[in-house]
């Protein structure tokens, strides 16, 4: 049994003008693929490059601004610097004990290498010229705790034999072994003895300092 021979449909190569017109209209009716959201590769690369440049410029401007601020605001006081300060020293109740704020004799000392109390040295560290700071300083960082052992009774011999003392007055004592001076408060006076208190007058007190930094000299 043989296969049936397929029927061949004969297509005319000729297309009339009317058919051509129909094809053109059909093509025109087909929706075109939108390219509105597409970005050519070159444009995308340029956009990324511009973004990188803008970010770099912003970082540079920020660094310049920070550098200018630090330069214009001046150096910071640190350990080893010699500083010039004006200050008010007061008790907890606000009573001013000592002040040179309106004087022409500022306090000059070297941070980390000075007899100035620790609390003041720590407060000045980190300040810039022109800065003013108010700090509360505990007795431990000021003049220490009051020590009853520093109350002494001495015989009136040698340099103090003929010195006139009055209870309540302050007297400067020179300690030859350590080559240092100390201020003591006279507590009691008899014909043969004298009793004084070698504690600092501010020992045991918490203090408040208002400090204005006038100058910094770097080592």
CATH 2.40.10 correct for 148-197 = yes
Residue ranges of the domains in the chain?
A: 82-143+204-217, 148-197
Average pLDDT, rounded, for the chain: 82
Q: What is the mean pLDDT of residues 126-139?
A: 97
What is the average pLDDT across 107-125? 95
* Residues facing residue 203 across a β-bridge: none
Residue predicted with more confidence, 80 or 162: 80
What string of DSSP letters covers 91-105?
Answer: ETTS-EEEE-TTSS-
pLDDT at site 144: 95
Distances (CA, A) of 14 to 9, 136, 163: 15, 108, 145
Q: How confident is the model at residue 9 (pLDDT cuts 50, 70, 90)?
A: very low
- Please, which pLDDT band fits residue 13 given cuts at 50, 70 and 90? very low
Q: Are strands 132-137 and 151-155 parallel, antiparallel or unpaired?
A: unpaired
- What pLDDT score was predicted for residue 176? 80
Model pTM?
0.60
Per CATH, the number for 82-143+204-217 is 3.10.50.40
What is the pLDDT at residue 160?
87
Residues 6+ away with beta carbon under 8 Å from 125: 77, 78, 79, 111
218 falls in which pLDDT band (50, 70, 90)?
A: very high
Which stretch of 13-17, 89-93, 215-219 has the lowest confidence by average pLDDT? 13-17
Task: With CA atoms as reference, report the closest residue to 200 among 88, 90, 87, 117.
Answer: 117
d(CA 216, CA 108): 10
* Confidence bin at 66 (pLDDT 50/70/90): low
For residues 200 and 181, is the Cβ–Cβ distance under 8 A?
Answer: no
For the ranges 8-22, 27-41, 110-124, 187-201, the lowest mean pLDDT is seen at 8-22
Beta bridge partner(s), residue 193: 155
Tally of CB atoms within 10 A around 194: 21
Question: pLDDT at residue 40 above 70?
Answer: no
Residues whose CB is less than 8 angstroms from the CB of residue 135 and which lie 6 or more positions away in sequence, other chains included? 119, 123, 208, 209, 211
User: Which residue would you say has higher pLDDT here, 181 or 214?
Assistant: 214
66 or 79, greater pLDDT: 79
Looking at residue 59, its pLDDT comes to 77
DSSP 33-62: PP-TT---HHHHHHHHHHHHHHHHHHHHHH
Chain mean position to CA 217: 19
Q: Facing residues of 107 across strands?
A: 85
């Amino acid at each position: 049994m043989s296969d049936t021979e397929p029927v061949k449909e004969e297509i005319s190569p000729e297309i009339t003008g009317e058919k051509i017109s129909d094809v053109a209209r059909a093509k025109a009716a087909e929706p075109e693929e939108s390219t509105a959201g597409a970005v050519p590769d070159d444009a995308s690369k340029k956009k990324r490059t511009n973004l990188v440049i803008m970010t770099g410029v912003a970082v540079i401007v920020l660094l310049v601004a920070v550098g200018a601020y630090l330069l214009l605001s001046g150096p910071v006081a640190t350990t080893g610097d010699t500083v010039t300060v004006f200050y008010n020293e007061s008790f907890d109740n606000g009573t001013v004990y000592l002040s040179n704020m309106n004087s022409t004799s500022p306090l000059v000392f070297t941070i980390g290498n000075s007899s100035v109390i620790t609390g003041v040295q720590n407060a000045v560290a980190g300040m810039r010229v022109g800065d003013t700071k108010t700090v509360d300083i505990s007795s431990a960082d000021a003049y220490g705790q009051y020590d009853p052992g520093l109350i002494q009774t001495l015989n009136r011999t040698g340099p103090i034999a003929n010195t006139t003392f009055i209870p309540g007055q302050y007297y400067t004592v020179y300690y030859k072994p350590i080559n240092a001076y100390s201020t003591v408060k006279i507590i009691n006076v008899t014909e043969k003895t004298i009793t004084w208190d070698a504690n600092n007058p501010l020992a045991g007190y918490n203090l408040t300092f208002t400090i204005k930094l006038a100058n910094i000299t770097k080592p």
